[in-house]
């Protein structure tokens, strides 16, 4: 298949394009996603190509957008809807938690919600309190939904196609900090575009990256780092700068997850660090710590470390004091190594 350089934005757009072409039941809608092509350009050109009945603008109502998608799913469509920022999914909570997640279960399979809810997430862009949050733990706690987050264009397209094809409701979180290029936390250095990176080479047509499959992003032997999204790149940088040979696992599917890959790695390295941007207390990292403790206790040689956002709302001016950059991750890697 022909492979071309794509940013994460182009890769996500390509995924929707491919699926709209393949499946006439795929519809795309949300705030500003139609004519304008989305505030991040992710749906650019789709309305012109597929028409207003397949890709259209929606009123500013997150509950309405998700509720409509649930109804469309019950009819037999496969809606892919966008919440402009993950920070604004809260008004749709009832529709996500009480409806989309439970429809198959409560109706014993009579009705299903094969919907995908895309949400740009994450910080590191001076987004302040309501343009930077990482709410994945609010979804992973909900039975019946899948939560997915890519860290590069190749995975973004393959995972989005898998999510759209999946018959369960999927929360598809897109780290907007990675939209145009990888970001390792060094905000004072120029950002390298995806075109300069091999993971920016994306097949033009249909392919999938399976759900519930983690990727060993970088093999290593000293310590296992379990992470996802932007922090994959931050962790890689921290490993390089500390000289610690970390094995970095990019979860890709946050929940349900690929436990096997995690356990195999921790049993090998015997040390573990969990890294995420989201706030610490009751964050998804707590679940990861529990899983590693339950499954790898007798193999561990050090306490499991956790690097996360502080338990505060996401600040504006203090962005880089808040964002868990390579220095904080590096310090945790050293602690895990007993230094």
Partner 1 sequence: MNQPQALRLHVPEPTGRPGCETDFSYLHVSPAGAVRRPPVDTVPQETSDLTFQLIRVLDHDGAAVGPWAPQVDAAILRKGLRAMLKTRTFDARMLIAQRQKKLSFYMQSLGEEAIGSAHALALVDGDMCFPTYRQQSLLLSRDDVPMWELMCQLMSNERDPMKGRQLPVMYSYKRAGFFSISGNLATQYIQAVGWAMASAIKGDTKIASAWIGDGATAEADFHTALTFAHVYRAPVILNVVNNQWAISTFQAIAGGESTTFAARGVGSGIASLRVDGNDFLAVYAASQWAAERARSNLGPTLIEWVTYRAGPHSTSDDPTKYRPADDWARFPLGDPIARLKQHLVRIGEWSDAQHQQVQKELEAEVAAAQKEAERYGTLLDHRMPSAAGIFEDVYETMPAHLRRQRQEMGV
The residues annotated with a catalytic role in the active site are 131
* Integer Cα distance of 113 and 111 in angstroms: 7
How would you list the strands of the sheet with 253-255, edge to edge? 55-57, 26-30, 78-82, 116-121, 170-175, 146-148, 253-255
Give SS3 for 229: coil
* Integer Cα distance of 251 and 287 in angstroms: 13
Q: Which residues bind partner 1 (CB under 8 A)?
A: 27, 53-54, 58-59, 61, 63-64, 67-72, 74-77, 79, 91, 94-95, 98-99, 102-112, 143-144, 146, 166-168, 212, 256, 259
- C-beta separation of 256 from 210 below 8 A: no
Smaller CB distance to partner 1: residue 143 or 191? 143
The CB-of-189 to partner 1 minimum distance in angstroms stands at: 40
Which parts of the chain are beta strand (E)?
3-5, 26-30, 55-57, 78-82, 116-121, 146-148, 170-175, 201-203, 215-218, 223-227, 246-250, 253-255, 272-279, 305-309
The CB-of-183 to partner 1 minimum distance in angstroms stands at: 31
Smaller CB distance to partner 1: residue 138 or 234? 138
Smaller CB distance to partner 1: residue 67 or 313? 67
The CB-of-311 to partner 1 minimum distance in angstroms stands at: 27
- C-beta separation of 174 from 12 below 8 A: yes
* Integer Cα distance of 235 and 272 in angstroms: 13
Angle in degrees, CA 97, 81, 109, rounded to 5: 50
Smaller CB distance to partner 1: residue 95 or 242? 95
The CB-of-110 to partner 1 minimum distance in angstroms stands at: 4
The CB-of-105 to partner 1 minimum distance in angstroms stands at: 5
Smaller CB distance to partner 1: residue 5 or 71? 71
């Amino acid at each position: 298949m022909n492979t071309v350089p794509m940013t994460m934005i182009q890769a996500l757009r390509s995924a929707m394009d491919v699926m709209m072409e393949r499946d006439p039941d795929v519809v795309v809608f949300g705030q500003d996603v139609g004519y304008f092509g989305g505030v991040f350009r992710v749906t650019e050109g789709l309305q012109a190509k597929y028409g207003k009945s397949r890709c259209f603008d929606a009123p500013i109502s997150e509950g309405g957008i998700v509720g409509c998608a649930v109804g469309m799913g019950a009819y037999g469509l496969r809606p892919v809807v966008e919440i402009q920022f993950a920070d604004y999914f809260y008004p749709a909570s009832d529709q996500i938690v009480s409806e989309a997640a439970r429809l198959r279960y409560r109706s014993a399979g009579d009705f299903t919600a094969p919907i995908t809810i895309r949400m740009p997430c994450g910080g590191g862009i001076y987004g302040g309190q309501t343009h930077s949050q990482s709410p994945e733990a609010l979804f992973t706690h909900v039975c019946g939904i899948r939560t997915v987050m890519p860290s590069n264009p190749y995975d973004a397209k393959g995972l989005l196609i898998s999510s759209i094809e999946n018959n369960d409701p999927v929360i598809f979180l897109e780290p907007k900090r990675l939209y145009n290029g990888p970001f390792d936390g060094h905000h004072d250095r120029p950002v390298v575009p995806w075109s300069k990176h091999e993971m920016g080479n994306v097949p033009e047509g249909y392919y999938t990256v399976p759900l519930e499959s983690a990727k060993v992003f970088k093999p290593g032997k000293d310590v296992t780092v379990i992470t996802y999204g932007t922090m994959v790149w931050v962790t890689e940088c921290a490993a390089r700068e500390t000289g610690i040979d970390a094995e970095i696992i990019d979860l890709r599917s946050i929940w349900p997850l690929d436990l096997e890959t995690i356990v195999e790695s921790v049993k090998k390295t015997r040390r573990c660090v969990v890294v995420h941007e989201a706030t610490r207390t009751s964050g998804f990292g707590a679940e990861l710590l529990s899983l590693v403790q339950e499954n790898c206790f007798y193999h561990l040689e050090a306490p499991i470390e956790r690097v996360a956002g502080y338990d505060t709302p996401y600040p504006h001016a203090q962005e880089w004091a808040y964002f868990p950059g390579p220095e904080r991750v590096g310090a945790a890697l050293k602690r895990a190594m007993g230094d």
